[in-house]
Structure formats: structure tokens, C-alpha cells
Amino acid sequence: QKKGIIFDLDGVIVDTAKYHFLAWKNLAESLDINFNKKQNEQLKGVSRIESLKKILTWGKKRISEKRFNELLHQKNEEYLVSVQKMDESEILPGVMKRLKMLKDVGHPIALGSASKNAKTILERVNLMPYFDVIVDGNEVSKAKPNPEVFLKAAQLLGVEPENAIVFEDALAGIEAANRAKMLSVGIGEKSILKDADFVFADFTEITDKHFNAILNASKA
Ligand code: G16
Ligand code: MG
């Protein structure tokens, strides 16, 4: 049975959360808003617009639409400076092995990310050749936990949702996969990703046996 494998980007393939954090922190400071790592956790998998809305809410700040758009631009420009410095060394441990294995076996691979910079990042880390399909923040209008991003990816991969497997680090992403009736594999903490069908701390924890079990599993 051919499975369609869908990967989230930030937190699954690369850790761009640290660069998002730096850019948001500088932006928040320029507005006299405190912003810490714990708050950054709540921005994982969340779109750029929604992230800024949250930061402004935390800082109890109201700004004009024009200023809002300027800040979005400012944040992204700073983020892109970090992205431009990325290379293969930033691919998270254990990921490469699984991408190669999936390619060898012939399971088609998609990216399902909220980021509008997804293609740039995949290019920087040289992973473009592995992805048959890319659905990112430029193509979807409804953010995770809405299943749109993953449903679109499965459709483009040519697999039914029940034959799709999603790797996600964000709670909202696991919820999106579950709503799409896809097998959800959480990468991160079990206590947070408790709704996932499988959870692993990272890809190095996924043994060949686990991986084969995932490929052969079906949604309960
Ligand atoms: C990623 C990050 C989020 C970020 C979002 C939008 O999502 O986890 O923190 O806000 O993309 O990114 P951008 O500003 O580049 O459009 P994902 O879905 O890859 O985890
Ligand atoms: Mg993520």
C-alpha cells in the first residue's frame, strides 16, 4: 500500500523556532513588550499574522493596520537574515535517514507548513529534491488546527487521507492531522502531544521497527 508522507517544517525537519524567537523578541522589545521562550512555544505552527496578534495582545498594545503590516515585514526581514545563513547542518538528527528510506521505498513525500518561507528554507538545507509536493503558508488560507494544509498535500500526493501520515511538532498540527483523519506522529513531548497516534522525542528515537510500524498502521 502506497502511503503519502507529510512533514511539517519548523520543529520537525529544522529548528527554525530559534530564529523566529530572535526576530519576534527584537520586535517585541522595540515595542516595549516582554517576550519569553515560553510565549514563543505558543507561536509554534502559528502563522505570522496570528503570531503578531498574540504578541500585541500579551503586550496590551493597539496599533494601526499600517503599522501592523510594517511590523510583519520588519520581523520577516530579520528572520530571513537568519534563514539565509542556514545549511544542511541544520537538518534535525535522524531526518535525512528517513527521507532517504521513503524515497527508496517509493512513498511520495510532501511538506505541510504554515510558513511562507518554506521553499527558501528547503533550498537552503538542500532538501528540495526529496519533496514531491509543497503546501505552505502561501497556498492555504485556514491555519492549523484546520486540516486544509494536510488535505491539500494528500490530494496533491494522490493519496486518500487514510493513507496519509503526518509528522508534526505542534499541538495544532496534530489536531489538524487528526481532523483530516490522517495518522498523526508527534515529534516532541508526550505530555503536550497526547492526541497523536504515535509520539517520539525526535527522529533519532524512531527505530526501523517503529518506522515500519508507522508505515503499516492505520487510524483507529
Ligand atoms: C512555522 C512556525 C511558526 C511561524 C510560521 C509562519 O510553522 O512554526 O512559528 O510563525 O511557520 O512562518 P513565516 O513567518 O515564515 O511565514 P510550521 O508549520 O512549519 O511549523
Ligand atoms: Mg512545526
Q: Is the CB of 116 under 6 A from ligand 1?
A: yes
Work out the average pLDDT over 87-100: 98
The yes-or-no verdict on residue 149 having pLDDT over 70 is yes
pTM: 0.95
* ipTM of predicted assembly, 2 dp: 0.93
Tell me what the mean pLDDT of segment 104-125 comes to: 97
**Environment of ion ligand 2 (residues, CB < 5 A):** 8, 10-11, 45, 169-170
Q: Ligand 1 in contact with 75 (CB < 6 A)?
A: no
- The rounded Å distance from CA 193 to ligand 2 centre is 12
**Which of 12, 48, 138 maximizes ligand 1 atoms within 8 Å of its Cβ, making it the mutation to test the pocket?**
48
Clarify whether 15 is annotated catalytic: no
Instruction: Using the mean position of ligand 1's atoms as its centre, give its distance from the Cα of residue 27 in Å.
Output: 16
The confidence band for 220, taking pLDDT boundaries of 50, 70 and 90, is low
Q: Which of 54, 81, 113 for a ligand 1 pocket mutation test, highest count of atoms within 8 Å of Cβ?
A: 113
**What's the distance, CA 1 to chain centroid?**
26
How close is the Cα of 46 to the center of ligand 1, in Å?
6
Q: Is 8 a catalytic residue?
A: yes
The mean pLDDT of 51-78, rounded to a whole number, is 98
Residue 201 C-alpha to ligand 1 middle, in angstroms? 20
Percent of the chain with pLDDT over 70: 100
178 lines ligand 1 (CB under 6 A): no
pLDDT band at 17 (very low <50, low <70, confident <90, very high): very high
Q: What is the pLDDT of residue 4?
A: 98
